[in-house]
Amino acid sequence: MSILKVARMGHPALRATTRALEKSEIRGAVIQRLIDDMIDTMTEYHGVGLAAPQVHEGVRLFVAALDAGEDGDEASEPVTVINPEIIIAGSDVVEDWEGCLSIPDIRGRVPRARQITVRALDRTGSRFELSAQDFQARVIQHETDHLDGVLFLDRMKSLESLTFLDEYSRYWRKTDD
């Protein structure tokens, strides 16, 4: 397994179209290795999610550590989500902080649906459905956006909250009280 190079904002791979994966291809060595490498890469860089276009692969696949804390704490086994379809549940929209391995050291507040259901294939090619809310729903929406060439900056209502990581830590990071 290896750590992959992560494309940064401005690299055309982040804006390119992606293709769905067939079940047989998912089970093949190439995609299985890509998934392993993406999980290693996400872990290495303390991300909570990583989508294939971020590692220069134009396929509809992402990995995510949905049990991670918002600061990328230790998590259980990351999930692999292939060919996702998001169904928004309800009309609640919440704004919260996001970051992205392709936009290093920047944070911004992004509105997202609070509650979603995602239908997708797992790494064995089996269908699954997952209902998620709040942080998990946010991660899934952020990563699915990557498969459509969309970055979190595109989703911000205003750039007023755009913040460097140091300033985020000093002034905006949530504290437990």
Residue numbers at the binding site for Zn ion (CB under 5 A): 100
Does the annotation mark 143 as catalytic? yes
Output the smallest distance, CB 28 to Zn ion, in A.
26
Active site residue: 22, 98, 129, 143, which one?
143
Cβ nearer to Zn ion, comparing 15 with 23: 15
Output the smallest distance, CB 142 to Zn ion, in A.
6
Cβ nearer to Zn ion, comparing 26 with 64: 64
Q: What angle do CA 58, 61, 64 make, to 5 degrees?
A: 135
3-class state of residue 18 by DSSP: coil
Chain center to CA of 97: 13
- The residues pairing with 22 across neighbouring beta strands, listed in sequence order, are none
Cβ nearer to Zn ion, comparing 58 with 125: 58
Output the smallest distance, CB 110 to Zn ion, in A.
11
Cβ nearer to Zn ion, comparing 100 with 110: 100
Helix (H) or strand (E) holding 143: helix 134-147
Any residues with CB less than 8 A from the CB of 127 and at least 6 apart, and which?
A: 119, 120, 121
Helix (H) or strand (E) holding 40: helix 29-44
Helix (H) or strand (E) holding 26: helix 23-27
8 Å CB contact between 23 and 126: no
State the residue number with the nearest CB to Zn ion.
100
Output the smallest distance, CB 100 to Zn ion, in A.
3
Cα 138 to Cα 32: distance, rounded to the nearest angstrom: 25
| Residues designated catalytic | 143
